[in-house]
A and B are shown apart, each in its own frame.
Chain A
Amino acid sequence: MREVAVIGVGMTKFGEVWNKSLRDLFTEAGMKALINANVSGSKINAMYVGSMSAGRFVGQEHIAPLVVDYAGLAETHIPATRIESACASGGIAFREACMTVASGMYDLVVAGGVEKMTDISGGEATETLATAADQEWEGFFGMTFPGLYALIATRHMHKYGTTPDQLAEVAVKNHANGCLNPNAHFRRKITAEQVLEATRVADPLGLLDCSPISDGAAAAVICPLKDAHKFVEKPIRVLASGQGTDTLALHERADICTMEATRYAAKAAFAQAGIKPKDVDLAEVHDCFTIAEITAIEDLGFVEKGKGGKATEDGMTRLDGEIPINTSGGLKAKGHPVGATGIGQVVELVEQLRGEAGKRQVSGAKRALAHNIGGSGASCVVHILEVPE
């Protein structure tokens, strides 16, 4: 297997981008990534595109060739493949792209992700997201997507004494980070009181415990590490990639406070990298709901199981903490255009590792981790990136 590097990244602003279509979004992100990588589109060998539900969000399936077409590359006839793994579609598209380069099959691949979620009503968007859960045995009975994470939160509070204030702290921190990210959906600070007093969605979660419905796209250009310096001064090595699965329905799991898909993906990634969680300088984790960041930092091994709430309260995960989590603002504040989210995380990692993250820069960052979840934890993909020696 060849070593792989990211040589360019690009993303649109995440948010309610009413004046841009699905096509506008992925074309903008892709062109930014190619320009950032100093690569001509005509040299690309293949593309992977993450999208959860373009069919339900904008009525358009079969978007992989469309991405190639609107990048102006129809004449190249390169292979393009769409990846669907709910909210982990982007992260898994990135993994597929890395694997084809690592295998030696292709030398220059684009991994992208896109979702245009605000062309339909909030209610329709929520119902589309719910299709990531078990429709026959969860959705049919009236379960919602926030409801599933609320079930986890209730149990986590019961089992480990996690508090609503600790959950609120996740949202407060991520909004503070989002203020420093020009591409974030929300760039305003919020207080713990606002989180606790916000409209209830599914107790114990309120509106400010939930990530928003966003439009957006992101892209990354990948090549063998040995060739990377031909294109850019600061390539970033993809040190490891791990992916895991679990039962689709939450109720099938022995312990709903632990996401075994995350543990499996993280174990594979850390083994491949030959490092431990303490060797990671920062991480982007899948905080679709505040409780999800708590379980993620536990399952990734940054803190002991059950201590995620306390660690957050103590400031361990803040920008100036021991392990800064979601420096971009996370899904909560940066936004969550589901298919784009996993690639958006890679964009943040690359900017941090290049030292280009501006006011949210983690000084001296050498290694960073991205954690992307699909559904209520039935899919997970973890990547570790580092500054090459």
Chain B
Amino acid sequence: MSVPRFWREIPQRYNLIGKKCTQCGQIYFPPRDVCPKCRRESIGKMEDYKLKGTAKIFTYTIIHIAPTEFVKQQPYIMAIVELDEGPRLTAQLVDIEPENVKIGIRVKAVFRKIKEDGSKGVIYYGYKFKPIS
């Protein structure tokens, strides 16, 4: 991934900044420029919205065969989590053993290293989720 492309996504990936449609109140993450409910009525009305980062596990898998940049981390747990504000997102689960993962468990976002791009020497950061103990 190119560096400019990554920088563009930083606020969202570092701080869980989504969008709120001020026309209808719906919250979106990942952010989008058009509200699917309001469409043209939402133009200019999509505001940044900071999500709390608390969520529950909607579904999960344990990745045993990973893409090159993630091979050092395998096996690791990937999940779709449902944020308390409603949106769902895809993220890695950390600080939990695979056998303890269950649908419905409460989790919260933490800021972690996602991967290293060896050839460019770039380290990418972003959110992962860990259990709320």
Contact = CB atoms under 8 A, between A and B. Distances in A.
Interface residues of A, number: 34
Contact of A137 (B89, B103, B124): B89
B111 to A, nearest CB: 13
A168 interface: no
A252 interface: yes
Contact of A142 (B30, B59, B66, B89): B66
Categorize the interface residue count of chain B. Answer: 20 to 34
A127 B115 CA distance: 15
A315 interface: no
B63 interface: yes
Interface string B1-31: 1000000010001000000000000000010
A165 B78 CA distance: 23
Contacts of B73: 142
A146 B67 CA distance: 11
Contacts of B70: 142
Given A130-B67, A144-B67, A154 B60 contact: yes
B1 A155 contact: no
Given A142-B73, A144-B67, A251-B80, A154 B90 contact: no
Given A140-B114, A142-B76, A151 B61 contact: yes
A252 to B, nearest CB: 7
Contacts of B110: none
A141 B76 CA distance: 11
Interface in B97-119: 98, 103, 114-115
A147 B103 contact: no
Which of A130, A143, A153, A155 has its CB near the most chain B CB atoms (within 10 A)? A143
Contacts of B34: none
Nearest to B126: A141
A137 B68 CA distance: 17
A123 B69 CA distance: 11
Given A126-B67, A137-B89, A250 B61 contact: no
B65 interface: yes
Contacts of A130: 67
A203 B61 CA distance: 5
B78 A142 contact: yes
A299 B19 CA distance: 32
Nearest to A133: B90
Contact of B59 (A155, A199, A201): A155
A138 interface: yes
A147 B126 contact: no
Contacts of B69: 142
A276 interface: no
9 contacts: A126-B65, A136-B9, A136-B30, A139-B67, A144-B63, A146-B65, A151-B80, A154-B59, A251-B89
Interface of B: 1, 9, 13, 30, 58-70, 73, 75-76, 78-80, 88-92, 98, 103, 114-115, 124, 126
Among all A-B residue pairs, the 9 with the closest Cβ atoms:
A150-B61, A155-B59, A203-B62, A251-B88, A200-B64, A142-B70, A251-B80, A202-B61, A151-B59
Given A140-B126, A144-B66, A251-B80, 18 more contacts: A126-B67, A130-B67, A140-B1, A140-B9, A140-B124, A141-B91, A141-B126, A142-B63, A142-B66, A147-B61, A151-B79, A154-B60, A158-B103, A199-B64, A200-B75, A202-B78, A203-B98, A251-B58
